[in-house]
Structure 1
Amino acid sequence: MIVPVYRNAEYVPQLIAEFSGISAIAAERFQMPMEFVFVVDGSPDDSFELLKAALPQAPFRSQLLLHARNFGAFAAVRTGLRAAQGDYFAVINADLQEPPELLLRFLDRLVNDDMDIAVGVREGRHDPGLSRLAATMFWAFYRRFIMRDIPRGGVDVFGCNRRIRDELMMLEEANSSLVGLVYWLGFRRCEVPFERRARVHGKSGWTLSKKINYFLDSVFAFTDLPIRMFTIMGALGFAFAGCLAIFVIVMRLSGQIEAAGYTTTILVITFFGALNTLGLGFLGSYAWRSYENTKKRPLALVRTARSFDGGSDTTSDLLYSGRRP
C-alpha cells in the first residue's frame, strides 16, 4: 500500500491504528501480509519523525521513504510503487478522506475477480461547496475532452497487480497525470464506489496552483485538443478575414468608402496577432513538455529509506537503488 505523505503529521496515530486493523483483516481473509510504504514528500512538518518513531512498533511491515525535497504527489506515488514489494499494489492518501477499507475492496476485486486495475470512484464527498463545484467541473471537462472512460466523480486512488505496476514504471513521463496513465494502459479494469470522508485535520496541500498544473499536464499529455482548437480558430479567422476583404472591396468599388478604414485595419491586425500569440503558446507548451521528457532526469530523489518488520523494534536502512523513482 503506497501512502504519499505531505503535511499530515496530525494523521499519523490514526494512520497506524486504521492500517493495523486493515492489515489484520487482509491476513485473515486473503492469507497474505500487507506492506505499507510511506513516502514523505519533503513535508515541512514533523510527519517523517513521527512515522519513524511509530512504525517500528506497528504490527505490519512497512517502509518509510523521505524525498530530498517536495517533488509532488505523482512522484511520491512512483517512488512508493518502485520500492514496494508484493503481487498487488494500491494507493491511498494520508489524509484518510478515502476510507482504508477501500484497500480491502480493491484486493477483493483484484484477487477474486481477476482484475488488473481497480479504481476508487467517489459517489459522494463531504467537501466544501466550492470545492465540490470545482471538482465536478474539472472531471466533467476531463471526461468530455481528455479521457471519456474516467468516472463522473473522478479518480484519486487505485489498486493494481504487478503487471500494471511494472508497466507504469516504464512510463517515465515528467509532466503527466497518473490517473490518465492508468486509464491509458487499458487492461481489465473495474470500479469500486466509495463515500469520500470529510477532512479532519489541517488544510489540503492541493493548492490552486497545483490543480492548474495538474489540469494542464492532463490536457497536454493526453490530448491534442489545444492544437485542434488552434486549427479551428485559424480556419475561422481566415474565413472572417475573407468575408471582411470581400466586404471592403465591394464597398470600395461602389464608391461608398475611399479607402480601407483605420478601424478595420486595427481589428484585423489585433485579431491575427492574438491568434498567432495563442497558437505559439499552445505549441510552446507541447514543445516544453517534449523537452522535459527527453531529459530523462529522475522524477524524485530519496534522501532516506528505512524498512520496519512489523511488531519489532528492528529497523534497517536501505540503500535505495532506483534511478528514476
Structure 2
Amino acid sequence: MFSIIVPVYLNAETLPALIERLDAIAAELQPAPLETVFVVDGSPDDSWQILKQRLPAARFQAQLIAHSRNFGSFAAIRTGLAAANGDHFAVMAADLQEPPELAKTFFTLLRDDTCDVAVGVRNSRSDGFVSDLASRLFWALYRRLVQPEMPAGGIDVFGCSRKVRDALLALTETNSTLVGLLVWAGFRRQSVPYDRLPRPAGRSAWSLRRKIRYMEDSFYAFSDLPLRILTLGGGLGIAATIALSVVIVLARLLGEISVPGYAPTVLIVMFFGALNLLCLGLIGGYVWRSFENSKQRPHALTLAHERFQGPSEKA
C-alpha cells in the first residue's frame, strides 16, 4: 500500500481539484491500493466539511483527521505519518503548487529501492519577483548557516520508506523542523526536480513571522553557530577592552582626558551591557528549548478521526 499525507490549512478552494487528481493517481497505481491521510490542522474555513462530503466517493482509501487547533504543518505531517498504514509514504501540499503527481515518482523510486528518501527539488517557481527573491535569500542563509545539505530551494514535498518514517517519528523533540530532521537523519536520498506552479486559489499561510520562527527553531535545533558567535564576541570584547585600555592610558598620560574616568567608564558599561544582553538572549534560547523538550508534550492533539474505505473495499 502507498500512503499520501496531506496537511490542510486554508485550502478549501483547492480540495475538490486535489481529490480529482488523487483519484487519477490511485487508478494509475493499481493494483496497489492508495491511501490518503488528510490532516486538517485547525483550519478556520470549510476544509473539514468539504473533505467529509467528498471522500466517501473517492477512488482511494482515506483517513480524515482534525487537530484541536492549528499546531503547524510539521505537526500535521507527523500526525499523518503516524496514522498512515502504507509501506511507502509521500507528503504532499494541498494548495496544488507542488504537483500531486510527484507522489507517483516518489513511490516508484521507493518501491524499486533506489533510495530511502525522495525529495522534490524546485527547478523554478511562479511566485513573483519579490517572493522568489525572498525565498532564495531565506534558503541561501539556511544552507549557509544551518544545514548545508538542505536542497537550494528547501523541501516542501518528499517521500520516504517505512524505516525512515519510523525514524522520524522516534525523534520527538519539540521546537524543531521536520524537514531539518529528515536531512539530519541521512539515509539514501534522491532529488526529483519539478516546477512550482502558481497558486490557483487562496493565499499562503507561510507568513514572514512563520519564516522567522522557522529559521530561529532551525538555528537552535541544528546549529551551534549562536554559541560560536557568543565565543567570538567574547574574544573580540576582551581584545577591544585591552585596546581601549591602551588608548585611555596614553590619553591620560598626554593630558587629553579632562574628566578622569568618565569616558572609559561609559564605554565599558555600554559595551559589556550590550554583550550581556546578547549572551542572555542566546543562552536563554537554548535553555527555553531544553525546558520545552523536558515537558514531553505531544506535537498535536487529535479532535476527530474518520476512515473511508474506497470503492474496492466496499465491493
Q: TM-score, normalised by structure 1?
A: 0.92
Contact kept? 2:5, 2:90, Cα under 8 Å: yes
TM-fit CA distance, 1:258: 5.0
Amino acid at match of 1:99: P
TM-fit CA distance, 1:270: 1.1
2:23 corresponding residue in structure 1: 20
Amino acid at match of 1:23: A
1:201 corresponding residue in structure 2: 201
CA distance in 2, matches of 1:130, 1:256: 53
1:152-231 aligned at under 5 Å gives the runs 152-231=152-231
1:318 corresponding residue in structure 2: none
Q: TM-score, normalised by structure 2?
A: 0.95
Q: Deviations over 1:271-325 (max 9, x none)?
A: 11111101100110111011101101111011100000113897xxxxxxxxxxx
1:128 corresponding residue in structure 2: 128
CA distance in 2, matches of 1:301, 1:233: 42
2:13 corresponding residue in structure 1: 10
Contact kept? 1:38, 1:63, Cα under 8 Å: yes
Gap change, CA 1:142 and 1:14, over 3 Å in 2: same
Q: In the comparison of the two structures, how many residue pairs are matched?
A: 311
Q: Deviations over 1:198-218 (max 9, x none)?
A: 001111111221111111111
1:277-292 aligned at under 5 Å gives the runs 277-292=277-292
CA distance in 2, matches of 1:78, 1:288: 23
The alignment yields a C-alpha RMSD, in angstroms, of: 1.5
CA distance in 1, matches of 2:195, 2:76: 24
SS in 2 for 1:160: strand
CA distance in 2, matches of 1:309, 1:260: 85
SS in 1 for 2:159: strand
TM-fit CA distance, 1:134: 1.3
CA distance in 2, matches of 1:32, 1:82: 20
Where does the alignment leave 5 or more consecutive residues of structure 2 unmatched? none
CA distance in 1, matches of 2:210, 2:84: 26
TM-fit CA distance, 1:251: 2.2
Contact kept? 2:248, 2:264, Cα under 8 Å: no
TM-fit CA distance, 1:154: 1.5
TM-fit CA distance, 1:263: 3.6
SS in 2 for 1:252: helix
SS in 1 for 2:121: strand
CA distance in 1, matches of 2:32, 2:248: 79
TM-fit CA distance, 1:261: 5.4
Between 1:238-247 and 1:258-267, the stretch displaced more is: 258-267
Contact kept? 1:168, 1:182, Cα under 8 Å: yes
Amino acid at match of 1:57: A
Q: Deviations over 1:19-40 (max 9, x none)?
A: 001111122xxx4211000000
CA distance in 2, matches of 1:297, 1:143: 30
Amino acid at match of 1:5: V
Contact kept? 1:56, 1:312, Cα under 8 Å: no
SS in 1 for 2:213: helix
1:135-154 aligned at under 5 Å gives the runs 135-154=135-154
Contact kept? 2:116, 2:160, Cα under 8 Å: yes
Amino acid at match of 1:12: L
Amino acid at match of 1:115: C
TM-fit CA distance, 1:113: 4.3
Q: Deviations over 1:47-87 (max 9, x none)?
A: 00110000000010000000011111111000000000111
